[in-house]
Amino acid sequence: MLTVRKRLDQLFKLKNPKLDSSKEFTKDELIERGFAPKNGKIDVLFIFPPSSVAERYGRKNMGNVGGDLIPLGIASLAAYLREKDFGVGVIDCPALRIDADEVFEIIKKKDPAIIGFSTTTYTLPRVIEIAKKIRDNLPTKLTVFGGSHANVAGIETVNKYDSFDIVSYGLDGEFIMLDIVKKYSEKKFNRNSFMQDFTMLESIKGIIFKKNNVVIQNPPRNSIENLDELPFPARDLFPMERYIPLPNQYKKLPLTNMVVIRGCPYFCSFCDQAGTGARRRSPKKVVDEIKHCVEKFGVKEISFWDDTMSYHKKWMNEFLNLLIEANLDIIWSCYAAVNTVDKNILQLMHKAGCWNIFFGFETGVEELSKNILTHRKNRNFEKMKQVAKWTRDVGIESRGSFMIGMPGETPELAKQTVQNAIELDPDYAQFSIVCPYPGTQLQKEIKKGKWGKFIEEDFEKYHVWDVTWLPEGYKSVEELKNMERYAYRKFYLRLGYIMKRILKIRSFEDIRRYIKGGTALVKAFL
């Protein structure tokens, strides 16, 4: 007979229901699923680097709260190159629970010609660790560095680290990688021959490399005009059983994430995609991908990760009507800007299966908003309250993003942001410490002595849960950290809020999510 403790452990274990409930897959089987060779060979292996919950969220004691979703960047690259008849492989380290040493052993075993890294700022140290081991022990392997950090700090990366042969930059890596692989194959996959042919290297748009120890940045590649030409991400290569969002970001499993837009039309000073424009897949193509996920993977929920999904109202209306017409047994969540929705579109979203929207409220304090959101119109606090009420009225839950440690902020203004969050009353609130990521306008301004000073250059801490700079309005790092804790306590430890969550419980899965999320919240902030 199971002990009470063991039974509880099983009951609340965070686990995605099996897509094939008849079989328990081993780690080796899940790793093997990630490889689709051509003629027995892997031309390109894409790696999403290791990162723990503590590294991702800056909290060592949060426990297993989830938060793993498919890295769509490398999933799209793998799908595109496979379609072009190349052998591909993927390793999603967080989902597979493998470290740098295990990655290296897989690389030795599979013997790929090219190793591509997808890197965020805070995962850069892990990528460097793996890349250096490859360079020291497998010197014939070509290493390609891409991802969000490469887009904003590619030159710096090539200049500083000898472990990377090529940096791919830009929002459309598919065409760049295809160009690299094709030209590399012409050189019989010989790294020395390839890296010494500067004429060939200079013909590849969208890359950065070294020529006689001088960093060369080629012109950017033209954007993909029709995103519908790209195949669906290669989800079949990934351990779908392992993917589960944070507790407040899902209701049904299995779930998968999806994007419909590349780029962003806004110019927020803290964002590394500011002003890159917004290109959309057609509404029909998006609905077709949802159908594909439902039919092939049994997906019950979609998490849209586009920051600006509702930006184009005509597109949104067409998509929602097509989704309703498809009559799929699916629910979904998304991100939306306050100034891009009205009550009519919210009603239609709810009818189409939307259950949760993540709004970037940020502050509601006009004095702070103007310092980082000067481009946005029609998003004052009264507009926020109106949108929050509309969302509740139509039956959609909301998550609100709020910033702590904004340019020009003082503890008093931060408390006003918290009070605004309480007044807006979203179902969940996220209070993030502002992080001046490399390449952003905010980072450039701070480097010039505006707003405050840098206190941390460790890239592992470059996420919204650690303090990397100190605004002028704060006396110390501890004061800023205490303000973050104050925000979470003030918002979540309200009797009215607690009762509201209890009354919304509709299933055992709700109870499990609340326990997991609540426990992590208490450990990390309260």
- CATH number of the structural domain spanning residue 500: 3.80.30.20
Domain contains 228? no
Query: According to the model, what pLDDT value does residue 2 have?
Result: 43
Take residue 241 and report the two structure tokens written for it.
């059983």
Which of 217, 232, 267 delimits the end of a domain? 217
**233 contacts 75 by C-beta, under 8 angstroms:** yes
Q: Domain check: are 400 and 256 in the same one?
A: yes
Q: Domain check: are 261 and 207 in the same one?
A: no
Span 475-490, mean pLDDT?
A: 94
Q: Which residues contact 243 (CB under 8 A, 6 or more apart)?
A: 16, 68, 69, 70, 95, 254, 255, 256, 257
Domain contains 201? yes
Q: How far apart are CA 491 and CA 423, in angstroms?
A: 10
Average pLDDT, the chain: 88
Query: According to the model, what pLDDT value does residue 437 have?
Result: 86
Print the domain residue range for 278. 245-524
Q: Domain check: are 292 and 363 in the same one?
A: yes
pLDDT tens, 125-166?
A: 899 999 999 999 999 999 999 998 888 888 988 888 889 999
Query: According to the model, what pLDDT value does residue 513 have?
Result: 79
Kindly provide the b/e burial profile for residues 383-421, where b requires at least 16 CB atoms within 10 angstroms of the residue's own CB: ebbebbebbeebebbbbbbbbbbbbbbbbeebebbbebb
- What is the secondary structure of 408-438 as a DSSP string? T--HHHHHHHHHHHHHH--SEEEEEE----T
Share of the chain above pLDDT 90, in %: 64
Q: How far apart are CA 145 and CA 408, in angstroms?
A: 36
Domain contains 388? yes
Q: Domain check: are 378 and 519 in the same one?
A: yes
CA quadruple 72, 73, 78, 79: dihedral sign? positive
Q: Domain check: are 33 and 117 in the same one?
A: yes
State the pLDDT confidence band at 64, using cuts at 50, 70 and 90: low
Span 413-417, mean pLDDT?
A: 95
Q: Domain check: are 328 and 251 in the same one?
A: yes
Q: Domain check: are 80 and 24 in the same one?
A: yes
Domain contains 123? yes
Q: Residue 10 pLDDT > 90, yes or no?
A: no
Span 209-235, mean pLDDT?
A: 94
pLDDT tens, 428-469?
A: 999 989 988 888 889 899 989 999 998 877 676 776 678 889
| Total Cβ atoms within 10 A of residue 91 | 26
State the pLDDT confidence band at 14, using cuts at 50, 70 and 90: very low
| Total Cβ atoms within 10 A of residue 260 | 23
Q: Domain check: are 293 and 364 in the same one?
A: yes
Q: How far apart are CA 234 and CA 73, in angstroms?
A: 10
Q: Residue 374 pLDDT > 70, yes or no?
A: no
Q: Residue 488 pLDDT > 80, yes or no?
A: yes
> Which one is predicted more confidently, 138 or 1?
138
| CATH for 114 | 3.40.50.280
Domain contains 234? no
Take residue 478 and report the two structure tokens written for it.
């501890």
Using omega within 30 degrees of 0 as the cis cutoff, is the peptide bond preceding 233 cis?
Answer: no
**304 contacts 258 by C-beta, under 8 angstroms:** yes
**521 contacts 485 by C-beta, under 8 angstroms:** no
Query: According to the model, what pLDDT value does residue 347 have?
Result: 98
Q: Domain check: are 157 and 265 in the same one?
A: no
State the pLDDT confidence band at 234, using cuts at 50, 70 and 90: very high
> Which one is predicted more confidently, 241 or 13?
241
Q: Domain check: are 212 and 249 in the same one?
A: no
**144 contacts 201 by C-beta, under 8 angstroms:** no
Q: Residue 17 pLDDT > 60, yes or no?
A: no
Q: How far apart are CA 408 and CA 372, in angstroms?
A: 10
Low-confidence winner among 295-309, 350-364, 503-517 (lowest mean pLDDT):
503-517
Residue with tokens 């629970």: 97
Q: Residue 491 pLDDT > 80, yes or no?
A: yes
Mean pLDDT comparison of 108-117, 269-278, 365-374, highest-scoring range: 108-117
Residue type, 148: S
Domain contains 42? yes
Please state the domain count of the chain.
Answer: 2
Span 361-383, mean pLDDT?
A: 78
Take residue 405 and report the two structure tokens written for it.
């440690």
Query: According to the model, what pLDDT value does residue 440 have?
Result: 86
Query: According to the model, what pLDDT value does residue 450 have?
Result: 93
Query: According to the model, what pLDDT value does residue 57 have?
Result: 60
Q: Domain check: are 93 and 131 in the same one?
A: yes
Span 109-122, mean pLDDT?
A: 93
State the pLDDT confidence band at 518, using cuts at 50, 70 and 90: confident
Query: According to the model, what pLDDT value does residue 8 have?
Result: 37
Query: According to the model, what pLDDT value does residue 369 have?
Result: 84
Query: According to the model, what pLDDT value does residue 5 have?
Result: 37
Take residue 224 and report the two structure tokens written for it.
């993909």
Q: Domain check: are 431 and 339 in the same one?
A: yes
Domain contains 207? yes
**421 contacts 492 by C-beta, under 8 angstroms:** no
State the pLDDT confidence band at 368, using cuts at 50, 70 and 90: confident
pTM above 0.95, yes or no: no
Maximal CA-CA distance, the chain? 71
